Chain A
Amino acid sequence: MSDNSVKTANDVAENFEPKILVFACNWCTYAGADLAGTSRLQYPPNVRILRVPCSCRVNPQFVIRAFQRGIDGVLVAGCHPGDCHYTTGNYYTRRRFLLINRMMEYMGIDPKRFHTRWISGAEGPKFQQVVTEMIEEVRAIGPNRKLRDDMKVTVNTDDIVASVEADTKVVADNV
């Protein structure tokens, strides 16, 4: 399961199973996922649920880190605004993720790979629906190749050396 390498283009088309990471708030979404389970609502097994005390705990860096380590899609889910166990946590989540969603898109990450949703403890069917739709969308667009740290796009040191040399020359000429 930890093998991120993709052998051929055919393997991708035939065998690609997306890995979706769900940050679930302990008080609502985690209970919602539990309800989906106890209600026997089936959803694809491609999700990994990571329980956090509050959606506000999810630092946007967690999301980038997940993409770096080979996750194909990230869902951040918590209580509906007004229902936060800690009263105001998800209002902060909303501000942060409105911004970071746009920044990820600005960086060229497909917005289909990254969602934020409010899923309450009573919304087992909504949890099932959201993750199923997300898995199918990500399956359609294929594995994530962006931001991955095993892609090893290294820094072109030749350019840096050339630019430093050019600057040094300018300084030398001026002195």
Chain B
Amino acid sequence: MSNAFVYNFDQVQNEMRAMAKELLESGEATMVIGWEKGALPYQSTPVMIRSAEDVDKLIWDAYCQQNLSTYLIDYIYTDEKVAIFAKGCDTRAYNRLIQDNRIKAEKCIVIGVPCPGMKNAREAARLPENAEVPMANACKECRYPNPVVFDKRVGTDVTAWCTERDFSDVEAIEAMPADDKYAFWQSQYTKCIRCYACRNICPACNCTSCIFDQSASGWCSKDINASENQFYGVTRAFHVAGRCIECGQCEMVCPSEVPIMLMNKKFIKDIDSLFGAHEAGLDTNTPAPLSHFSVSDPEEFM
């Protein structure tokens, strides 16, 4: 993980600004989506830039964790040609959205940015100023810090600092007695306020109409209690099973700090062991595990 601190953010930032300027001036892109500095040192927020004069707003620092690919969905029916800056996880999200037919490649320009791993903004908010901020949880297990698909790119490739997923947290829960497991998830899901931020940010959760917006269907109520929250939690995790790219955005945005990735990683672990290793979003040809089947799948229901 040490390469995070020799990485030269300023140099990449300059390249990003030059690239954005070139794209906007030449008219190749009508808009560039990147990050700008937020109100606090540990906040970097998305910014949409339409004029070459504004490119100095763009920044690149250790808090640009937010995935920008999901914004492309908003421009699918417009005449815009949108350029986005994309880290490794953002490019995997981009592939997912292409595969789900939610965006069109010809309307997007992906500018790949190798990423040294982002810092944990939530911890940064709690730690005293100038303290060493740990890496964001999802970034610790990142195996694809370099863009997997891009039209243009800035910066130079970094070496991945992680080679295998760490399932020890999932295994710890699996080893608990059933009642303890249930108590653990109850304690987590009683914190949930059903703001749906995890759904909104997720590049795998991209349905045009969501089951949780249709309370008249009788599926789920708007009640906020442990039962309904758990229904929401399991359903959300199941809907992204096999399509989760492990960007950790869901946990990042959760105001109640529900360990959402623990659910996603459980599905990833089971899919890998039951149906063979699968990495969502590495390309657009491999079908998602739950959208196809094999006649030789494990048989437990005889």
Please indicate whether A and B come from the same complex rather than being unrelated chains. yes
Residues of chain A having any CB pair with chain B under 8 Å: 60-61, 64-65, 68, 80-82, 88, 91-92, 94-103, 105-110, 115-118, 146-149, 151-156, 159-160, 163-164, 167, 170-171, 174-175
Are the C-beta atoms of A175 and B226 separated by less than 8 Å? no
Contact across chains for B40 and A175 when beta carbons are under 8 A apart: yes
Contacts A95-B289, A99-B274 given: A106-B295 contact, CB under 8 Å? no
**Chain B residues closer than 8 Å to A149, beta-carbon distance:** 221, 223, 225, 227-228
The answer to whether A175 and B235 have CB atoms under 8 Å apart is no
A103 contact set on B, CB distance < 8 A: 234, 237-238, 263, 266-267, 270
Query: Assuming the A-B contacts A94-B301, A98-B300, A106-B174, are A153 and B241 also in contact, with contact meaning beta carbons closer than 8 angstroms in the complex?
Result: no
Known contacts A95-B297, A164-B255; can you find 7 more A-B pairs with CB under 8 A? A91-B297, A94-B299, A95-B274, A97-B301, A98-B274, A153-B186, A153-B227
| Residues on the B chain within 8 Å of A164, using CB | 255
Stretch from B1-9, B92-100, B190-198 at the A interface? B190-198
For A96, what are the chain B residues with a Cβ–Cβ distance below 8 Å?
Answer: 290
In Å, the complex CA distance between A106 and B256 comes to: 21
**Interface contact B267-A99, CB-CB below 8 Å:** yes
Main secondary structure of the interface of B (DSSP, over half): helix
Q: Which of B45-53, B176-184, B245-253 contacts A (4 or more CB under 8 A)?
A: B176-184
Q: Given the complex, which residues of A lie within 8 Å of B186, measured CB to CB?
A: 153
B274 to chain A, nearest CB (A): 5
Given A106-B174, A118-B302, A171-B40; A61-B219 close (CB under 8 Å): yes
- Residue in A99, A101, A102, A117 whose Cβ sees the most chain B Cβ within 10 Å: A99
Assess the A108–B181 pair: CB atoms within 8 A. Answer: yes
| Distance in Å: Cβ of B241 to nearest Cβ of chain A | 6
Structural contact, B266 and A108, CB atoms closer than 8 A: no
If over half of A's interface residues share one DSSP class (helix, strand or loop), that class is named, otherwise mixed; here it is: helix
List residues of chain A with CB within 8 A of the CB of B241.
Answer: 99
Nearest residue, chain A, Cβ from B179: A108
Q: Are A102 and B181 in contact (CB under 8 A)?
A: no
B295 touches A82 (CB 8 A): yes
Asked if A152 contacts B225 (CB within 8 A), the reply is yes
Q: Mark B282-302, 1 if CB is under 8 A from A, else 0.
A: 000000011001110111111
Chain B residue numbers with a CB within 8 Å of A92 are 290, 293
Task: Check if A175 sits within 8 Å of B270, measured CB to CB.
Answer: no
Cα separation A96 to B185 with both chains bound (whole Å): 22
Q: Is B231 an interface residue (CB 8 A)?
A: yes
CB of B293 within 8 A of CB of A94, answer yes
Q: Which residues of B contact A61 (CB under 8 A)?
A: 211, 219, 231, 235, 238
Structural contact, A108 and B191, CB atoms closer than 8 A: no
User: Which chain B residues lie closer than 8 Å to A117 at the CB level?
Assistant: 301-302
Residue of B nearest to A118 (CB): B301
Q: Is B206 an interface residue (CB 8 A)?
A: no
B193 / chain A contacts, CB cutoff of 8 Å? 155, 160
Do A107 and B185 touch across chains, with their CB atoms under 8 A apart? yes
* A–B Cβ pairs within 8 angstroms, 16 of them: A64-B234, A68-B227, A80-B302, A92-B290, A95-B293, A96-B290, A99-B270, A103-B267, A106-B174, A115-B301, A116-B300, A149-B227, A155-B224, A155-B226, A174-B125, A175-B39
Give the distance in Å from the alpha carbon of A81 to the alpha carbon of B255 in the complex.
Answer: 44
Q: Pick the contact of A154: B225, B271, B301 (CB < 8 A).
A: B225
Q: A64-B234, A98-B270, A103-B237 are in contact. Are A108 and B185 (CB under 8 A)?
A: yes
Measured CA separation A164–B263 after assembly (Å): 24
**A81: which of B179, B191, B299 is its contact (CB, 8 Å)?**
B299
Please name the residue on chain B nearest to A61 by beta carbon.
Answer: B235
Q: What residues on A are CB-neighbors of B266 within 8 Å?
A: 102-103, 106
Min distance, Cβ A123 to any Cβ of chain B, angstroms: 11
Contacts of A64 in B (CB 8 A): 230-231, 234-235
Query: Does B229 belong to the interface (CB within 8 Å)?
Result: yes
In the bound complex, residues from chain A placing their C-beta under 8 Å from that of B297 are 91, 94-95, 98
Whole-angstrom CA separation of A76 from B270 in the bound complex: 20
**Of A64, A91, A95, which is in contact with the most chain B CB atoms at under 10 Å from its CB?**
A95
